[in-house]
């Protein structure tokens, strides 16, 4: 498996993570501030060009009951725009509870509020991407 770019989409910030060349381990990459959907798409395409990733995985914020709310619909619009220009597969992955998991970890590490804000989105992208990679690995073992 080639590198996979993970994206934690937000209206103001995008968190990026990247897998290793084997598609086994997700690593946090960076957080980019954006003001518009067009900026979010452009930033993601720039990350894709820079990393040479062969696939993009975007966290889909489903409601706890599995339904799609307004933010999930916004993410789907973002995914459609990225997919139109990316030239690689762009898929979504359920990201329920990843932000809460990251926030708990950062609080346990006693990070300041400012430092948590700096790293939260890229760590959420990492957790989401790692879940995707692990599922792909389990799926290939089942074959």
Can you give the pLDDT at residue 142? 61
**Domain residue ranges in the chain:** 4-142
For 4-142, the fitting CATH number among 3.30.2270.10, 3.30.420.140, 3.90.180.10, 3.40.50.300 is 3.30.420.140
Higher-confidence residue of 88 and 62: namely: 88
Burial of 18 (0-12, 13-18, 19+ CB in 10 A): buried
Predicted TM-score of the model (pTM): 0.88
Side by side, the strands of the sheet bearing 55-60 are 26-33, 13-19, 4-8, 55-60, 90-94
Express each pLDDT in 48-80 by its tens digit: 999 999 999 999 998 888 888 888 999 999 999
pLDDT recorded at residue 139: 66
- In this predicted model, what pLDDT tens digit does every residue of 14-26 receive, in sequence order? 999 999 999 899 9
Residue 119 above 80 pLDDT? Answer: no
């Amino acid at each position: 498996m080639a590198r996979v770019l993970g994206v934690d989409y937000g209206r103001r910030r995008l968190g990026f993570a990247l897998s290793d060349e084997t598609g086994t381990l997700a690593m946090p990459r960076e957080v980019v501030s954006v003001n518009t959907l067009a900026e979010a798409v452009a930033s993601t395409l720039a990350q894709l060009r820079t990393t040479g990733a062969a696939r993009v995985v975007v966290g889909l914020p489903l409601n706890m009951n599995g339904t799609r709310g307004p933010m999930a619909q916004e993410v789907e619009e973002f995914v459609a725009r990225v997919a139109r220009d990316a030239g690689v597969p762009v898929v979504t992955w359920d990201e329920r509870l990843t932000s809460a998991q990251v926030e708990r970890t950062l609080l346990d590490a006693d990070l300041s509020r400012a430092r948590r804000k700096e790293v939260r989105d890229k760590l959420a992208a990492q957790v989401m991407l790692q879940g995707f990679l692990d599922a792909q690995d389990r799926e290939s073992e089942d074959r």
